Structure 1
Amino acid sequence: MHCFVYASLRKPDTYLWLSRRDDFACIPASLALMLGELRFALEVELSGERKLPQEDAALVLAHLREQGWHLQMPPQQTLAAANHPAYKSAPRDPDRDRDR
């Protein structure tokens, strides 16, 4: 299947795969809002046997066939780092928190 991949400019390492180029009408409005502006990143021929660095090709294909899009989120290592105890226990700046 021919696929088109777009990078979110708002969410680092987040990609939207589409089965048709520039067919953003198929994605839910809430997803479009979360992703913000998208930049075309890649056009690729995808098969179930193809190895992808971050995704299961068969799952991507299934989503593209069922709904016309697939959302690729950042790798788990990135998410785990944000939840690391050292990150969570960093000293808080009360002046910065008050301005929120």
Structure 2
Amino acid sequence: MHCDIYKSSKKDEMYLYIARPEQADEAQDTDPLAVVPELLRQTFGRATFVMHLELSPARKLARVSTLHVIDSLLNKGFFIQMPPEGLINPNAVEPEGLRGA
């Protein structure tokens, strides 16, 4: 199974996997995000293409189960990967930058 991966402009570490047809027609001007519900699209923000990926049950992904992603792509046409819990601290102090440079 082939998919394209996009990153969110609104949330760090949030990714959207979109099922890609086996016989993709490059001349076709269809919106690949059309399968995603409008509310999710608004929450996700601007989608920036990251990469094309071929998924198989033998392939390991870093943060999610490959079988779960494939199942979601087959049933919904997309999979949303949320940021890992505890990765983003909303109360963190912003870095001051380089001093003396």
Post-superposition shift, 1:20? 2.4
Which residue identity lines up with residue 80 of structure 2 in the other structure? L
Q: Residues 23-62 of structure 1: matches in 2 within 5 Å? A: 23-62=32-71
After TM superposition, where is structure 1 displaced by more than 4 Å over at least 4 residues in a row? none
Structure 2, unpaired ranges of 5+ = 22-30, 92-101
Aligned to 1:16: 16
Report the RMSD for the aligned CA atoms in angstroms. Answer: 2.0
Bigger relative contact order, structure 1 or 2, given CA contacts below 8 A and separation 6+? 2
Identity of aligned residues (%): 34
Report how many aligned residue pairs link the two structures. Answer: 84
Structure 1, unpaired ranges of 5+ = 88-100
Structure with greater proportional helix content:
1
TM-score (norm 2): 0.74
Alignment partner of 2:73 out of 57, 64, 70: 64
Post-superposition shift, 1:39? 0.2
Aligned to 1:73: 82
